[in-house]
Structure 1
Amino acid sequence: MTALTTIYYTIAQLTALIFFLHPLHVSVTEIEFDEKDKALEIMMRVFIDDLETTLRNSLQDPDLDILEPKNGKTVDQMMQEYLKTRFKISLDNKVQTAKYLGHEREGDAFIFYIEVSNVKKWKTINIHNNIITEVYDDQSNLVHVTVNGKVKSLRLTRNTPADNLTFSN
């Protein structure tokens, strides 16, 4: 190995180590329009540790253990309250009522289930999702919307917490 190759190899190892040590802050939300049931079916995947840190801050409870909360509230109660201001959907500029349905654990993440019912025909969906951005400035909230088998996606961040997607019917 030449000295230059050794330097490049060392830089590559250090870059990989930095990337490995720096956690990825991301959530993924899947929204599917069920035309038959006239509903938006929503699944939101969030890493448990990021959510726990966020809820500790927002509830001012530094000892919160989200897997075994002792503050008298359940995960569902905390999330229902937290999502009220941080996750919103509008269809053709009309704010929709999102109903929190519950959650399940999948490995290192929670999956939260949400539904918007009584959905009329629409063309433009506006999604506001700024969960966890108050704690991690590099948080990305990926949103995939499926309508009639066609998928469109958004990446929402602290600086861009909401955006629109338009579907032709």
Structure 2
Amino acid sequence: MKNFKYLVLLAIFPVLMASTSAHKFYVSTTNVEYVPEKASIQIISKIFIDDIEDVLEERYGIDIHLAEKKEAEIDRSYLRKYILQKLTVFVNGKPAKLTYLGQEYETDVVKAYIEITGVKDLKSLEIENTILMDLFDDQQNILHIKTPSERRSIILKRDNPKGLLNFNR
């Protein structure tokens, strides 16, 4: 009788797991802050490590190991290269030069630090963020923009990966 219960559980288990499987949600968050005293725009992108590793491996055809003892300089280099290719910023209608400052890891998230310098006055900000969109169709990249006088948020998706904000003071 005891074995019969185990056999029934083994037979039912795959059915239960298939019916309760969760759909994974693909999202990144990017905080953009204009700091007039420093004439800079400071950007922090937070991306799930497993997602960015998947896209880097797919794109570059190599094994990537972030936030592990196996992490190599080449892994960090591909991460930097990818982020700078997938993040485009126009300040006051002109393309901005993004400086990748580095990254750090927090549990299952990589935080990439980027800066734009020489921004004395912010009138408009256009951001295109296609990070992870080349691998995940349902990827959403959330932008939180902060200036001394305003806070705004935008959700970017594959069919609309750009956001334009005008600032009137």
TM-score range, shorter-chain basis? 0.7 to 0.9
Q: Distance in 1 between matches of 2:108 and 2:149?
A: 29
Three-state SS of the structure 2 residue aligned to 1:36 is helix
Q: Which segments of 5 or more consecutive residues in structure 2 lack a partner in the other structure?
A: 1-16
Indicate the RMSD between aligned Cα atoms, in angstroms: 1.9
Q: Which amino acid in structure 2 is aligned with residue 94 of structure 1?
A: K
CA distance in 1, matches of 2:71, 2:59: 15
- How far apart are residue 97 of structure 1 and its match? 0.3
- TM-score, structure 2 as length reference: 0.83
Question: Is contact 1:147-1:167 (8 Å) kept?
Answer: no
Give the Cα separation in 2 of the matches to 1:26 and 1:100. Answer: 21
CA distance in 2, matches of 1:116, 1:64: 28
What 5-or-longer segments of structure 1 have no aligned partner? 1-13
Equivalence map 1:48-87=2 (5 Å): 48-61=49-62, 63-66=63-66, 67=68, 68-69=70-71, 73-75=74-76, 77-87=77-87
Question: Are 1:127 and 2:127 matched, yes or no?
Answer: yes
Q: Partner residue of 2:11? A: none
Alignment map for 1:8-157 (pairs within 5 Å): 17-18=20-21, 21-61=22-62, 63-66=63-66, 67=68, 68-69=70-71, 73-75=74-76, 77-157=77-157
TM-score (norm 1): 0.83
Q: Aligned residues, how many?
A: 151
